Amino acid sequence: MANYTRLEARQWAKENLHGLANVVIPSFTQDLSRLNEKGIRHDIRRNIELGFTGTLLVAETATTLEEYIEFTKISVDEAKGNIKIIHHASFNTLKENIQAVKLAEEAGAELVLLSYPANFYPKDSQEIYEYTKNFAEATNLGIILFPVPLWNFERLHPAAIDPKIIRQLLNDVPNIVAIKAEGGMPLVAGFTQCYQLFKDEVIVMTPLEKDAFAIGNLVPIQWMATSNYEMYGDVLPKLFNLMQEGKFEEVYEQYWKLQPARSTIGKFMASSDGAGLVNRMLWKYAAWLNGFNGGPLRQPTMKVNQAQMSAIRQALIKSGIEVTNDDDSQFFIGRNPEL
């Protein structure tokens, strides 16, 4: 349960959300019939070890609602308050998302990243407002609003969610605490406009490390969430701390070292843009290279092939990241296999 009320959510967020929140993709048994608790606990411990301050529990991996809540309970129990557990509101309908967030709140999640269902086709921006407001009123949890080119909202406004609608939401929905501002990608204007308009009310961030560590040398960024930062091991939490200390020359020195990995993985992610999905298996593989559990994912899932795996491994090494020497075949088994 949240230890703040809806009216206290923004103040709580400003006081408590710092550093980087990455993602944890659920682990499954070898026959994919159930969750792999050992693998999930391993990943939460690895997050804490690497210096992350929070993590998003990814929902888009063919888990049932009951399994997802079990995933949440396991993660909350293993985290023991050392990192913020973020619920992923990415289920099929508004009704199901309301049911899921209520259960996740009871299970101990502290925040929620709001997605929009694949079949949600608003005729105007006001319908986006209504969906968001109806969802928010069903939970006490602080909400991360997420304008991004995944929802097919650009037909209504190039920034994905019209800033006028964001203004209306911030006026009417007190538990919106942050904006994950990726609207209009690859342009950076979706972030800069939100930052200029709303930074005094809520946390405004870009989760894209390629942008954030450059922008953060010019304006204060207290929190970055959520993305697959774990693909770089502990480098980004350390880089964030350097940025907070104002050590900009050191930030840029490390920033440019990451370019081989950044460009390689970015190329593979761009190849999946047409599907409107994130390649979670590719993310899980990159995490496995950095000590996370790995293991099989359920269908339907986007795939990672050997050419991609070899390229990612070599790009990370070239970027100075120490990765596992284990053969890639072990990724599909995982570090804590359960039958």
Question: Which CATH number characterizes residue 52's domain?
Answer: 3.20.20.70
Per-residue confidence (pLDDT) for residue 140, from 0 to 100: 97
Q: If you average pLDDT over every residue of the chain, what do you get?
A: 96
264 assigned to some structural domain: no
Establish if 169 belongs to a structural domain.
yes
DSSP output for 73-118: HHHHHHHTTSSEEEEEE--SSHHHHHHHHHHHHHHT--EEEE---T
The total number of structural domains in the chain stands at: 1
271 domain residue, yes or no:
no
Question: Residue 223 belongs to what domain range?
Answer: 6-242
Q: Rounded to the nearest 5 degrees, what angle is found at the Cα of 301, between the Cα atoms of 141 and 292?
A: 65
Instruction: Quick: pLDDT tens for 247-265.
Output: 999 999 999 999 999 999 9
Mean predicted confidence (pLDDT) in 183-189: 94
Q: Going by C-beta distance under 8 Å and a sequence separation of 6 or more, which residues neighbour residue 126?
A: 165
Rounded CA gap, 225 and 143, in Å?
A: 12
Cβ within 8 Å of residue 42, ≥6 positions away: 27, 292, 293, 335, 336
* Contact by Cβ (8 Å): 28, 295: yes
Instruction: Kindly report whether the global pTM for this prediction surpasses the value 0.95.
Output: yes
93 within some domain: yes
Across the beta sheet with 223-225, the strand order is: 203-205, 176-180, 142-145, 111-114, 84-89, 54-57, 19-24, 223-225
Asked whether residue 157 is domain-assigned, the answer is yes
List, in sequence order, every residue forming a beta bridge with 143; answer none if it has no partner: 112, 176
pLDDT of 193 strictly over 80: yes
- Tell me how far apart the alpha carbons of residues 215 and 182 are, in angstroms, rounded to a whole number: 14
Q: pLDDT higher for 270 or 322?
A: 322
Residue 313 lies in a domain: no
Residues in the chain: 339
**DSSP letters spanning 272-333:** TGGGTS--HHHHHHHHHHTT------PSS-----HHHHHHHHHHHHHTT-----S-GGGGGT
Residue 279 lies in a domain: no
pLDDT at 164 over 70: yes
Phi and psi based region of residue 277 (left: phi greater than 0; alpha: psi -120 to 50; beta: remaining):
beta
CA distance 217 to 93: 40
Q: Which of 115, 85, 120, 110 is nearest to 97 (CA)?
A: 115
Please state the rounded mean pLDDT for residues 38-50: 98
The answer to whether residue 309 is domain-embedded is no
